[in-house]
Amino acid sequence: MDVKNLSNDFGVEITNFDCSNKIQSDEIKFLKTTMQNKHFICFKNQKLDGNLLAKFTKNFGELEAYPEKDKTKGKLEIFNVSNISEDGEHLSPDDQRVILQKNNSRWHTDSSYRYFPSSFSILFGQETLPEEATGGQTEFSNMLKAYEHLPDDKKTLLEPLHQVHSYNDIRRLEPGLPELTYEEKSNFPPVSHPVIRVHPDRNLKKSLYFTSNTSLEIGGMSLENGKKLHSWLVEYISQSMFCYKHFWEQNDLIMWDNRVLLHRVIPYDYSKYRRAMIRGTVEGNVPVLGPFSNEIRSTV
Ligand SMILES: [Fe+2]
């Protein structure tokens, strides 16, 4: 296994490592430590299908199941992040499966609509855009660093605030999507998470935690002010000093820490280019704790 840093802050690239093999316990330990310190890994030149991806993902925890009943993917645990159907057909940009992909171009962290949001996402690039194409990269922004650089008045303003994360609210931003069933909605009622999260496994370090893919407001203030603050946050975390853009090559397998990084796909010409990826998602087992959570207050 060869490891090299991708930027000064976060991200490493790993070559000469086959994720389809059985992974040894010392290798899993090394990868977990790397995720803790570097938050993003790109494994080059992998050969995986859905089953092998699921097997690799299980090294890091349980697999999350998709919230919708088999509308947009083949298997409940392996999500298609793709404008290609199960049968290999290039889908129209109006197809609901492609609309869902377009929503991924808003900054987000996977599964924030759950009380226990996902820890890691693991995404395999089966078909990637040709080099001359514009867009299609996956961009990441480091919320630990973004918090560190926040002006003090913004830290004070944000500290007590929450954002509501609702899976159903994707429909508010993308009205072309079909309604969820009563059961799907009931399984994922809205949750609220602190906008400043505290990481007990990182010496109580703080980071930002918000998304743009289900709501464009911050709670705890008027609609107008909540929208203004949200727009400010989006602009702030989009600065290049916090970001790393992954330029895909076919057969890259990338893995990131949803507790630390936000991500988005850079929009591309959905009708011209095929882009097919599959994702395994590691279930989280801790809630998002904020500065005023009892668990945190009792430790300080
Ligand atoms: Fe995502």
What's the burial of 135, exposed, middle or buried (CB within 10 Å: 0-12/13-18/19+)? middle
Mean pLDDT across the chain, nearest whole number?
Answer: 93
For ligand 1, a single-atom ion, the residues with CB < 5 A are 110
The residue that leads in pLDDT, 69 or 31, is 31
pLDDT band at 22 (very low <50, low <70, confident <90, very high): very high
User: How many angstroms does the Cα of residue 109 sit away from the middle of ligand 1?
Assistant: 6
**90-130 residue pLDDT tens:** 999 988 888 888 899 999 999 999 999 999 999 999 999 99
The Cα angle at residue 154 between residues 152 and 156, in degrees rounded to 5? 70
Residue 71 confidence (pLDDT): 54
**258-268 residue pLDDT tens:** 999 999 999 99
Residue 134 confidence (pLDDT): 95
User: How many angstroms does the Cα of residue 105 sit away from the middle of ligand 1?
Assistant: 9
Where do the domains of the chain lie, and which CATH numbers do they carry?
2-297 (3.60.130.10)
**Owner of token pair 């279930």:** 283
* pLDDT of 300 above 80: no
User: How many angstroms does the Cα of residue 46 sit away from the middle of ligand 1?
Assistant: 20
C-alpha 120/C-alpha 46 separation (Å) is 18
User: How many angstroms does the Cα of residue 14 sit away from the middle of ligand 1?
Assistant: 22
* pLDDT of 76 above 80: no
User: How many angstroms does the Cα of residue 298 sit away from the middle of ligand 1?
Assistant: 33
Average pLDDT of 202-218? Answer: 96
Q: Which helix (H) or strand (E) element contains residue 148?
A: helix 143-148
User: How many angstroms does the Cα of residue 193 sit away from the middle of ligand 1?
Assistant: 18
pLDDT band at 75 (very low <50, low <70, confident <90, very high): low
φ/ψ (deg, to 5) at 73 = -155, 175
Residue 74 confidence (pLDDT): 53
Structure tokens at 223: 């609609």
User: How many angstroms does the Cα of residue 110 sit away from the middle of ligand 1?
Assistant: 5
